[in-house]
Amino acid sequence: MKRCMCVWTAAIAALVLVSPVTARQLERSRATGQAPRAEATETYHAGIVVDADSGVVLFEKHPHQPWPPASMTKLMLMLLVAERVRDGSLHWDDPIPTSAWASKIGGSQVYLKQGEIFPLAEMMQAIVIHSANDAAVAVAEAVAGSSEAFVELMNERAKALGLRATVYRSPHGLPPGKGQEPDMTSAADLATLARALVRFPEIMQWADTKEAPFRQGTMTLTNTNRLVRETTWVDGLKTGYYRAAGFNVTATGRRDGMRLIAVVLGAARKRDCFAEATKLLSSGYANYKAFVPVKKGDTVASDVAVKDGKPRFVRVVAGDDVSVLTKRGATPKLTVGLALSGDVRAPLKANDPVGEVVVKDGDAVVGRVPALAAESAEKQTSLWERLF
């Protein structure tokens, strides 16, 4: 389902008292290469709630300030792998070997041994569910030849996605060593990255898995996201922690036909991190609803002319749902129109795109999906057919 909306100002109350980061803290962070520490009075440092399909922001707090994502760095690894499986350059059954470096990486891991080989799908389960650093390095090396080369791919993809505050320096997100700098991102960037990831069913299936066997059942992968384990409607996506970064989560939820994404960065305590993510998501669902003015297959025009076509007119339908996020209690006044890409010409096959279905609230476009020909039209061959 695709979902869009015009920009409404969210009326979501602040959930905590905010004590802004001071200029001195920011200066110290620049000198040390580490993110500023949140004041003790803050429950968390930065956060955001967005509609997953449209990207419309429902709530934000310090959304663009750089912050170390810790293991949420692996979200970009997930996206790069999923995209390559989609385009056919990788396959879920590809064998992924473990290098000596991967076997020694430390932190959260599945204790891979040098030379040990697992299919890509099993390595990715270890990464998505269990946040395994050794599996992340093994996959990065298999895809790009080295961790350093894979980090270059990560930064290229971040730039293409428009992630303004994001700089990757590792494929795993472990705290930087002496002389190294941390991976950095922002709440807004993580929300954008999560919006791209939720379109991949395999990633979402693993992100929503509470526990899974690994190494023929000799080890159990336990999801690091407590919200997945304890709720029925949160289905992802990734957590991250080390001391300087605090507790972090990118949480995805699906309820009442809506998917929302909440990011919480820099919580001092794990329970606060999950509690605030729950509050942010719940507040979004309490204040907004999905309104569907156009459903997939709905007729939007019954007599679109086909140049040199037989028949000369075809019906046009919506290629997908249009779902508009609205404030609860409000009924938007929407108009549905058809914007053709140009002349519709024969030959034409059923389901060929001919333009867009455009939904407006006043002058603002709040949704658009492909417009498809509902029937085929052959090309007229004789002068008689073209004239009459």
Helix 74-87 × helix 133-144 angle, to 10°: 40
Percentage, residues of the chain above pLDDT 70: 87
Q: Which pair of tokens denotes residue 245?
A: 């970064």
> Are the C-beta atoms of residues 94 and 45 closer than 8 Å to each other?
no
CA-based torsion, 302, 308, 311, 317: positive or negative: negative
pLDDT per residue as tens digits for the range 63-73: 999 999 999 99
* CA max distance for the chain: 83
**Rounded CA gap, 244 and 176, in Å?**
10
State the pLDDT confidence band at 38, using cuts at 50, 70 and 90: very low
Which of 6-15, 45-54, 163-172, 289-298 is the least confident region? 6-15
> What was the pLDDT predicted at 199?
95
**Average confidence (pLDDT) over 146-162:** 98
Q: Which pair of tokens denotes residue 341?
A: 């890409």
**Mean pLDDT across the chain:** 89
> Are the C-beta atoms of residues 41 and 88 closer than 8 Å to each other?
no
> What was the pLDDT predicted at 215?
95
**Average confidence (pLDDT) over 52-57:** 89
**Rounded CA gap, 248 and 67, in Å?**
10
pLDDT per residue as tens digits for the range 172-188: 999 999 999 999 999 99
Spatial CA neighbour of 238 closest among 40, 75, 19: 75
**Average confidence (pLDDT) over 55-64:** 95
pLDDT per residue as tens digits for the range 274-329: 999 999 999 999 999 988 899 999 999 999 999 999 999 999 999 999 988 888 98
CATH class of 2-288: alpha beta
Spatial CA neighbour of 294 closest among 386, 177, 208, 372: 372
Beta bridge partners of 118: 96
> What was the pLDDT predicted at 249?
98
**Length of the chain in terms of residues written:** 388
pLDDT per residue as tens digits for the range 197-226: 999 999 999 999 999 999 999 999 999 999
Query: Looking at the predicted structure, is the pLDDT value of residue 129 above 80?
Result: yes
Ramachandran class of 58: left when φ > 0, alpha when ψ lies in -120 to 50, beta otherwise:
alpha
What's the CA dihedral at 302, 306, 311, 317 to 10 degrees? Answer: -30
Amino acid identity, position 330: A
> What was the pLDDT predicted at 290?
87
State the pLDDT confidence band at 1, using cuts at 50, 70 and 90: very low
Domain 295-387: which topology?
Answer: Peptidoglycan synthesis regulatory factor (PBP3), Domain 2 (2.60.410)
- Strand 299-305 and strand 313-318: pairing? antiparallel
> Are the C-beta atoms of residues 313 and 306 closer than 8 Å to each other?
yes
Beta bridge partners of 258: 255
> Are the C-beta atoms of residues 47 and 61 closer than 8 Å to each other?
yes
**Rounded CA gap, 92 and 203, in Å?**
12
Provide the residue ranges of all domains of the chain, joining segments of one domain with +: 2-288, 295-387
Query: Looking at the predicted structure, is the pLDDT value of residue 387 above 70?
Result: no
Q: How close are the terminal C-alpha atoms of the chain, in Å?
A: 42
pLDDT per residue as tens digits for the range 131-143: 999 999 999 999 9
pLDDT per residue as tens digits for the range 322-361: 988 888 988 788 999 999 999 999 999 999 999 999 999 8
